[in-house]
Structure 1
């Protein structure tokens, strides 16, 4: 819907400009036609929202203004008034984009490759040429900030490439690399589960596993950001040439890397954007509509010329401007922006630092913390937010939680172009982010200038077996190495670590929960991986702890003292069915005799329902909750602790561990919180006839039905309406027939169907959902795959070019195994 609105608005503005230049009947009719189309589209959008949302987003105001343009005549003598009027209209719709849910825009995360149209065509032809069966290396080179990764990502995600190759994989290389990490990155990116057993393999074993995976198949592997041809020499023996048309694509700053690795063709050296391309990119990045208001256009063109065709500079400066659409501010940036942007990195570093200098103090801290991470490291957003809070960078703001404030900070940095989105969730929210190498240089320089204490993540080396060494990212890595090398019981930890707030050893395996860390009394964030991850009762000595993450190969038993940790915000256990001691909570009481509460607890994951029968009273503000254990009663009813009174609960996961032989029934809907946004079921075997119950959850936006979540051959949705549902995911289900219509899911944006091998068809009418942006069908029958393609073709015939369909039938998926 957002893309359609942008297109219609552009058509209207273009028609207005033409009519002002040449006010004849033809252009007047074009203007009337385009304004009518825009107005009708806005009216359609209004019907998708309730009355309050219409008023909030300004849709009514925008519609009224378009209607006035439709009724009035704008002659050249009234051009100035018309420009002012259209600027107001653009501003209104810009506010609409800002206020609308993030998940409704750019859910696919498509890249802006303005100016590279010819390169895309040429490279696509080389990647997918059926006449060349030999294995080939293709390289893209150019200075930092020109868009090498953006172009490679565009090619990697192109539907033709997705269809052409059996296996696609992507990994970042960086200046400092480990062969093991490259191999693991390729294996995990190719949709292979990297188990603990795989993680502990030697480089040679991993290489052999990769070779077997690629053998006989047509594959594309992208090695992003190669600094030295030595990288390819280290791993090329693991890439078989079976004359299937396989390709490896490099990106590099060094033009000579292509020749050193014996690339099949000359390196594609990227150029700077010309003035027209720069302006196009600038408008896309600065305005949700992609249209610059008349009043700001002169300043905008001066600014883009001073960026000298460097895409990164354009992105950065657009982040400075997009939230301050005033002539005064734009004039200041146009005057200050450096003219020296391109010949040497040091010459435009000052210009890139403009955005940093404009940040408020709390955002500067958040940005500088990125210098702690290794080059090219993708940081999970949830982890980043918890780390920011632990470091004390986030302050309370009104009624918002610290996590909500931190997310606002993240979006502010992304909107300013200082951070990049690297992964998105199914609902379009950001899952992981990273920082461009040049901006990381800015980050490190500014941290040094401002004496910002910057401990770092680095790789700690530990024996995985008697013959292999395992590397795991650790923060601070010096302390991690100390804890790994020696048991410090009875010995004081060095003074310099006494004030450490974060200890992240999640990827450094140990045998047991390391009690030595309990000496670090100032810890706010603790992440540990251990074969036996059960912490001692003295864990409660960490009175300041906010986040506790434990990964283990055994079920974790959490001591009852955990309920004394009143500052705990996130308790994240990663193993099987995890227990909290003494489920009779009255036995754990405060000094006044009343049961202890965890008022700040927001995340409680993968815990046994037996441990949390009174979770609503114990953790009243919880937002994410996951139950793992026996969830089916002897009578075949889904049962778990009542969470109805958890007013802040947004996400609930139900993972049943004891299979039930027959189809099960849902529990009373009153067991669920009315504010629930996301629900995930796994192994619950709910009868499809029961699923209609979830349509009565008024705020449910994401429904994930995973392995054996439902059972039965037919799902007929009938008259029920999932009124707010935006994402529906169906994985590993035995359904054969799905009967549904667009009226059942009026606001659906993304439909994902994976490994439902018996499903015959995707309901054709779902393609008519006005908000639907993506249908993804993988590992299903050929007929289900064909029905998805049929939906796309039907929508294209009706003029809907915004629906994207990604489909790969079961046979092709099996060939990849």
Structure 2
């Protein structure tokens, strides 16, 4: 029987494919793209850092695939000042499979330009000998080495033996990478440059140069038609230079408007593949955007691939809360390799690594500079959904799309994402099909809210019996109750009913003993929680968010004594003695309490110290109940503090909270001058919210006060005058003022050069008139880049309408009463 040696054939085929990949990715420094847009500022910045005396040893360009890192590096490489400054140059492309000896030999050869004899001699050297010669060459001469497309810190580790990193030298390294870890590992003191996506004008300029150059001199009508199509298609590129280049390259070969229209109809597929569609299309996919981005995906570890694919659940342009995302990953089991106590930290490190690899973009940072929200670039999301579909990782049912596509029971899909709108019949999901194999179910409503009723919920819990994850937020409906059947979901790890109009939680919820996360927060009315023991069997509980208004808020809710990894407890009603329950929960990091004590003297547990707590919220529900400072000061390491209730004092001991970066004060009553002096001395405060209260009539921010404050929000405050001394709030970037009785912005704003955004709304008309160009206060804010003023006329128009309506209503009522009395 003949042997076809399939293993060898497969290996050879793999080698051939890998070599083709390598060849496709090589960037030749002597080939300079004549069509570059938006790179001039970055080129000058990078060139300046490279030739600077005693400048950084390593200069890095970091960004996602297709952002133009290599193109930018070429512009710097050929910059006139750079060419004149350095004696010798070497450009090498680093593959995902870095061969250290070959790379070091190539760098050395390019730097010294050896003769044939010397080349043969170098070829015989061992890696340590090559590294030593390369090291000495860079010490003796001014060398510029470009390491293009370096992927891992391990690759750098294998190469750094050839670079004198810890010695004074005028040689420099310019590297490009998709992985921020490489930058930090190579030189923590180095200079990092992150190119940005092109704006609309730059995108059109690049597209026009490549696809429509000289076309305006032909048929004007055809040119205008192509221009209109081109501008619409550019919206799908989202400013990514690679995508624009791919699209322009396709259209450059197409002469007629009909051909352009064909590309327009299937624009996403054309950009992904970079070739004509159809079975006879040429190319192997190297030309398209997907291939370049897929290189980043292939470089991920197994658990990071799962985390990345999970992002396909979220709709396009969705701002993903990192706190929720990490909890979903834990519930899915993606972080199961981590120790139980460290799962949250490891999960966050995973999102940080995906950001560092430029596969996920940062949306917002929190007050502690951690990533608060994230999102996917549209083209990266295309790759994510494509890979999720290929691996049967996830199925999306899009009810808001024109055509509704449902998975069949044979799909055996484990994860469902449901996109809803207000017109679709949602009762059919799970009614006729068997979805018992589904493990994860996430709902996303269009505009968040969607209608639901208890009958649908019962059907859902009956059919999806093996769920581990259920995200069912923003449900609206009359008398909506969580059915008893929820207790049948014994495998559930994650349950979120956030901001849903749920009236009651059944006692059967106590059966969910595997729960990690339960989110019942709601801004809609009152929720009934059956009894104080409902959570006492949930030994694996890590995060619980209760609604602000619930029946158990004045009870002493009990948690399982074995729930040692409980991290988050929000909106729990407590008496002073209830703090004793939390002292055993040594891993708790976020605590939100609603206090019902009648006075400070009756508080107990004042000697308890919560060293692990990072976020604290105290909500005093009685008007005459002051903020319990002994509780606040028992949390020495908190980063975030939210206080709702009257502030009769601000103790000096508050300055001991060295890590406090965010402070929110709500319904605080009257703040005195000495209170303000304490606030402005807080050593790490970056965000301050003051809502609904009274400031001193003549508020003063002293010189040097609030040294690190970056964001200040003043809402519904009573005070007339505000003085900001020169040198106060030197780091302020954003200022928000709304519904305040303040008569004018302070003079001192003109000295705060860091102020980039000023938002003002619902102030007196005189206040706004002073700020307009030519107004007497305009000079105070003319340096601010963004000044946002809400439609004040509309607000006052609404107030006038309410006043007029009330006047007419009472006038009519009085007239009716007069007629009744007259009739009598």
Question: TM-score, normalised to structure 1's length?
Answer: 0.53
Match of 2:108 in 1: none
Query: Take 1:522 and 1:550, find their aligned partners in 2: how far apart are those partners?
Result: 18
CA drift at 1:485: 2.8
Q: Aligned pair 1:733/2:733, yes or no?
A: no
- Check whether the contact 1:427–1:727 (CA below 8 A) recurs between aligned residues: no
- Cα 1:701–1:401 change in 2 (3 A) is farther
CA drift at 1:454: 4.5
**Local SS of the residue matching 1:571:** strand
Query: Take 2:229 and 2:606, find their aligned partners in 1: how far apart are those partners?
Result: 60
Aligned counterparts, 1:291-440, within 5 A: 308=246, 341=274, 348=288, 349-394=290-335, 401-421=342-362, 430-440=371-381
Query: Take 1:678 and 1:366, find their aligned partners in 2: how far apart are those partners?
Result: 30
Q: Residue deviations 1:253-280, cap 9 Å, x none?
A: xxx9x99xxxxx956626889xxx99x9
Match of 2:151 in 1: none
- Cα 1:712–1:493 change in 2 (3 A) is same
- Cα 1:775–1:21 change in 2 (3 A) is same
**Local SS of the residue matching 1:568:** coil
**Local SS of the residue matching 2:344:** helix
Match of 1:535 in 2: 505
CA drift at 1:368: 0.9
CA drift at 1:379: 2.6
Match among 433, 456, 461 for residue 416 of structure 2: 456
Match of 2:685 in 1: 700
- Check whether the contact 2:594–2:620 (CA below 8 A) recurs between aligned residues: yes
Match of 2:545 in 1: 572
- Cα 1:621–1:655 change in 2 (3 A) is same
Q: Aligned pair 1:652/2:641, yes or no?
A: yes
Q: Aligned pair 1:269/2:239, yes or no?
A: no
Q: Residue deviations 1:676-702, cap 9 Å, x none?
A: 321111121231521222234333221
Q: Aligned pair 1:760/2:744, yes or no?
A: yes
Match of 2:697 in 1: 713
Query: Take 2:299 and 2:484, find their aligned partners in 1: how far apart are those partners?
Result: 44
CA drift at 1:357: 1.0
CA drift at 1:716: 0.5
- Cα 1:589–1:19 change in 2 (3 A) is closer
Match of 1:127 in 2: none
Match of 1:808 in 2: 789
Query: Take 1:763 and 1:339, find their aligned partners in 2: how far apart are those partners?
Result: 54
- Check whether the contact 1:729–1:751 (CA below 8 A) recurs between aligned residues: yes
**Local SS of the residue matching 1:367:** helix
Q: Aligned pair 1:112/2:112, yes or no?
A: no
Q: Aligned pair 1:445/2:392, yes or no?
A: no
- Check whether the contact 1:628–1:655 (CA below 8 A) recurs between aligned residues: yes
- Cα 1:717–1:363 change in 2 (3 A) is same
Of structures 1 and 2, the one scoring higher in RCO (CA 8 A, sep 6+) is 1
Query: Take 2:198 and 2:292, find their aligned partners in 1: how far apart are those partners?
Result: 22
- Check whether the contact 1:371–1:454 (CA below 8 A) recurs between aligned residues: no
Q: Which runs of 5 or more structure 1 residues have no equivalent in the other structure?
A: 24-76, 122-140, 147-255, 260-264, 283-303, 312-337, 796-802
**Local SS of the residue matching 1:269:** helix
Aligned counterparts, 1:25-40, within 5 A: none
Query: Take 2:391 and 2:302, find their aligned partners in 1: how far apart are those partners?
Result: 12
- Check whether the contact 2:365–2:373 (CA below 8 A) recurs between aligned residues: yes
Q: Which runs of 5 or more structure 2 residues have no equivalent in the other structure?
A: 1-40, 54-78, 86-139, 147-168, 212-221, 250-270, 279-284, 394-412, 430-439, 445-449, 565-579, 799-824
- Cα 1:516–1:269 change in 2 (3 A) is same
**Local SS of the residue matching 1:743:** coil
- Check whether the contact 2:722–2:745 (CA below 8 A) recurs between aligned residues: yes
Match of 2:707 in 1: 723
Match of 1:80 in 2: 143
Match among 560, 563, 575 for residue 532 of structure 2: 560
Match among 773, 779, 804 for residue 790 of structure 1: 779
Query: Take 2:186 and 2:427, find their aligned partners in 1: how far apart are those partners?
Result: 46
Match of 1:691 in 2: 676
Query: Take 2:671 and 2:302, find their aligned partners in 1: how far apart are those partners?
Result: 54
Q: Residue deviations 1:282-329, cap 9 Å, x none?
A: 7xxxxxxxxxxxxxxxxxxxxx79974789xxxxxxxxxxxxxxxxxx
Q: Residue deviations 1:528-562, cap 9 Å, x none?
A: 25545453555443222222211442244654333
Q: Tell me how many residue pairs correspond in the alignment.
A: 546
Match of 2:11 in 1: none
Query: Take 2:496 and 2:528, find their aligned partners in 1: how far apart are those partners?
Result: 16
Query: Take 1:526 and 1:723, find their aligned partners in 2: how far apart are those partners?
Result: 42
Match of 2:441 in 1: 475
Match of 1:750 in 2: 734
CA drift at 1:418: 2.8
- Cα 1:505–1:266 change in 2 (3 A) is closer
Question: TM-score, normalised to structure 2's length?
Answer: 0.53
- Cα 1:85–1:402 change in 2 (3 A) is farther
* Greater radius of gyration (CA): 2
CA drift at 1:806: 1.9
